[in-house]
Structure 1
Amino acid sequence: MPNYLKLPTVTKGLIRVVIETPRGATAKLAFDPETQVFGYVRPLPVGMTYPYDWGFIPSTLGEDGDPLDGLVIHQASTAPGVVIKCNLLGALRVKQKDAGGKVLRNDRYIFCPHKEDASDEPVAADHVPDDLRREIELFFHSSVVGTDKVIKFKGWQNGAEARRAIKKGMNAFAARQ
């Protein structure tokens, strides 16, 4: 079985995202590095589902000690363990406070899958449209209801800014190895 945490982050300019929780899931799933399996974490609040595939960026490390988080915007749903090569659209900057009162940055990176059969032209936009931003913010705010987490949004980064932040996460991962 592959070590999902140590997959290369980037291939041919595209960023890999390992899917933990597929679109349509009513429970959060997560990869457990010890057992190398995807396991149940908790249910979402009643009536909620993941609007898109959710996962992590391999070979990165965030302030919370976990790989950086990624939301893959597309109409299909996949399964835990699927790796998608993506174009980076941007990131939602998030300040998170846990039950112990620890405050840290836990941004959500937003992607769209790279289409293998598409032309070599660059993605038309390196940002998340305003209406989709509001929907994503609403989902993330609602998804922590009933948990010990409190989140506050600190604005959006475009694709170039988000790529620099991912590079920082890659450097933190490399320094820990």
Structure 2
Amino acid sequence: MKKTILENRMKHIFCTVETPKKSNAKYNYEPESGGFVLAKYLPLGSVFPYDFGFIPGTVGEDGAPLDVIIISEQGTFPGCILKCKVIGAIKAVQQSKDGVQVENDRFLVVPEASSIFGNIHRVAQLSDTVLDELQHFFINYNKQEGKDFQPLKILSAKDACKTIEKAKSNCQPIKKIEVFIPLYDKEGNRFSDHLYQSVSKQLIKNFGGITAYIRSPAVGIWENSDGMQIKDDHVIYEIMVSEIDHSYWKQFKKKLELQFAQKELIIRQSEIGLI
């Protein structure tokens, strides 16, 4: 049952377009500049057959986000983000000029908004012409750069989703979430340990692991309207993630405020770097 839920969730992902369909220019997203940089022009008469981009929050064997081909009747623009359905992938290896060979798959997706391709759920539903066109395009595209691109086989939607999930786990967490929960209620009574155990279990289930500062609680000091200083002991739960689902955290915060009878709890986020 859990496996089925995971597969269904993974079949729909967000993709970022770098180079639009029918473009003669190749664009690359540059995180440092925060924009899309013109990388090169293709030879005259050569254009991208479909929108080409990447899957955010993934790291492939070459150290870059996974490449994605967005099969649709319309082209978009650099930076466009599309919710897409995974239908398969072209498994391939790429050899550079210096002979280094890495896995460099091309994942095949269809935008949810597509009216012509919306009924396609697996790569087998695509015509052989589309697959041949895509494979020949990337073979020739890499050949122009002195690289050897070798398609190996076509992956099913299920296998493509597994590969994407693995690439997501390879992506280093870059954001830290901290959840502050008080130890005592308004009357000074300590909350039940069962409540904290419940919070820990839910966060571990959803994110795979946490750091909980329970035995050495943080002490918060604040001043009320009468000018009196009040101390608050808090348990802090720390989670590292690559992407923040704001809707999830808003709902989680409301749930905790009800459980611990608090007018407002603090959940904060911050950027971090790993060594």
Instruction: Give the % identical residues.
Output: 30
Q: CA deviation at 1:175?
A: 6.3
SS of residue in 2 equivalent to 1:144: helix
Indicate if the aligned counterparts of 1:21 and 1:54 stay in contact, CA closer than 8 A: yes
The one-letter amino acid paired with 2:37 is: G
Distance 1:109 1:40 in 2: 23
Task: Map 1:86-97 to 2 at 5 A.
Answer: 86-97=84-95
Counterpart pick for 1:127 among 105, 123, 129? 123
Q: CA deviation at 1:33?
A: 1.2
Structure 2 CA distance for partners of 1:12 and 1:99, relative to 1, 3 Å? closer
Q: CA deviation at 1:145?
A: 3.0
Tell me which residue corresponds to 2:183.
Answer: none
Q: CA deviation at 1:36?
A: 1.1
Tell me which residue corresponds to 2:144.
Answer: 146
Indicate if the aligned counterparts of 2:94 and 2:104 stay in contact, CA closer than 8 A: yes
Indicate if the aligned counterparts of 1:45 and 1:143 stay in contact, CA closer than 8 A: no
Task: Map 1:30-41 to 2 at 5 A.
Answer: 30-41=28-39
Q: Once superposed, which parts of structure 1, at least 4 consecutive aligned residues long, lie more than 4 Å away?
A: 10-13
Counterpart pick for 2:153 among 148, 152, 155? 155
Q: Deviations over 1:29-60 (max 9, x none)?
A: 11011111101112222211111100000000
The one-letter amino acid paired with 1:125 is: H
Indicate if the aligned counterparts of 2:17 and 2:77 stay in contact, CA closer than 8 A: yes
Q: Which stretch of the first structure deviates more once superposed, 166-175 or 18-27?
A: 166-175
Task: Map 1:160-171 to 2 at 5 A.
Answer: 160-171=158-169
Distance 2:114 2:104 in 1: 30
TM norm structure 1: 0.84
Q: Which stretch of the first structure deviates more once superposed, 128-137 or 69-78?
A: 128-137
Distance 2:114 2:94 in 1: 36
The one-letter amino acid paired with 2:166 is: K
TM norm structure 2: 0.56
Per chain length, whose mean CA-contact separation is higher, i.e. which structure has more relative contact order (CA < 8 Å, sep 6+)?
A: 1
Q: Which has the higher helix share?
A: 2
Indicate if the aligned counterparts of 2:85 and 2:121 stay in contact, CA closer than 8 A: no
Structure whose CA Rg is larger: 2
Q: CA deviation at 1:125?
A: 3.0
Q: Which stretch of the first structure deviates more once superposed, 34-43 or 105-114?
A: 34-43
Distance 1:67 1:58 in 2: 6
Structure 2 CA distance for partners of 1:133 and 1:151, relative to 1, 3 Å? same
Tell me which residue corresponds to 2:63.
Answer: 65
Structure 2 CA distance for partners of 1:124 and 1:23, relative to 1, 3 Å? closer
| Equivalent residues, number | 164
Q: CA deviation at 1:96?
A: 0.4
Tell me which residue corresponds to 1:136.
Answer: 134
Runs of 5+ in structure 2 lacking a partner? 1-7, 175-273
Q: CA deviation at 1:101?
A: 1.4
